[in-house]
Amino acid sequence: MSGAEAFVPTPLMLSDSARKRINALMDEENNPALKLRVYVTGGGCSGFQYGFDFADGVAEDDTVIEFGSATLVVDPLSYQYLVGSTVDYEEGLAGARFRVQNPNATTTCGCGASFMV
């Protein structure tokens, strides 16, 4: 006889470099309430694409994940695609950007901005 297994999804994670960048932007804007909103929309070359925005407030149904003074905000539709992901910040020859390392993505585009599940 088989039994049901409990499953607790891994929430979104934030890399040290992303946390430092969010804190730096909070200082630059002189706004300690600044939060990084991460979202998923349809589009991109692989079907879905990631988006980032900064917000002061949150909606009633948003998920708020705090990492010390740095905070991520995710809407409920996007959260289901992002569970277990890590939000990172990188600087390189192509510029500086936030990016998502998503273990749920079955296909990603070359730039890493879009994905398919």
pLDDT, tens only, 41-92: 887 666 788 899 998 889 999 999 999 999 999 999 999 989 999 999 999 8
The answer on whether 14 is annotated among ligand-binding residues is no
Consult the annotation and say whether 108 binds a ligand.
no
- Domain borders along the chain are 13-101
- 13-49: per-residue pLDDT in tens? 999 999 999 999 999 999 999 999 999 988 766 678 8
**pLDDT at residue 6 above 90?**
no
In which band, very low, low, confident or very high, does the pLDDT at 104 lie, cut at 50, 70 and 90? confident
56-77 as b/e: b if 16+ CB within 10 A? eeeeeebbebebeebbbbbbee
Fold of 13-101: Hypothetical Protein Aq_1857; Chain: A; (2.60.300)
Classify 95 as helix, strand or coil: strand
Helix (H, G, I), strand (E, B) or coil at 5: coil
CA distance 52 to 79: 13
State yes or no: 111 annotated in a binding site.
yes
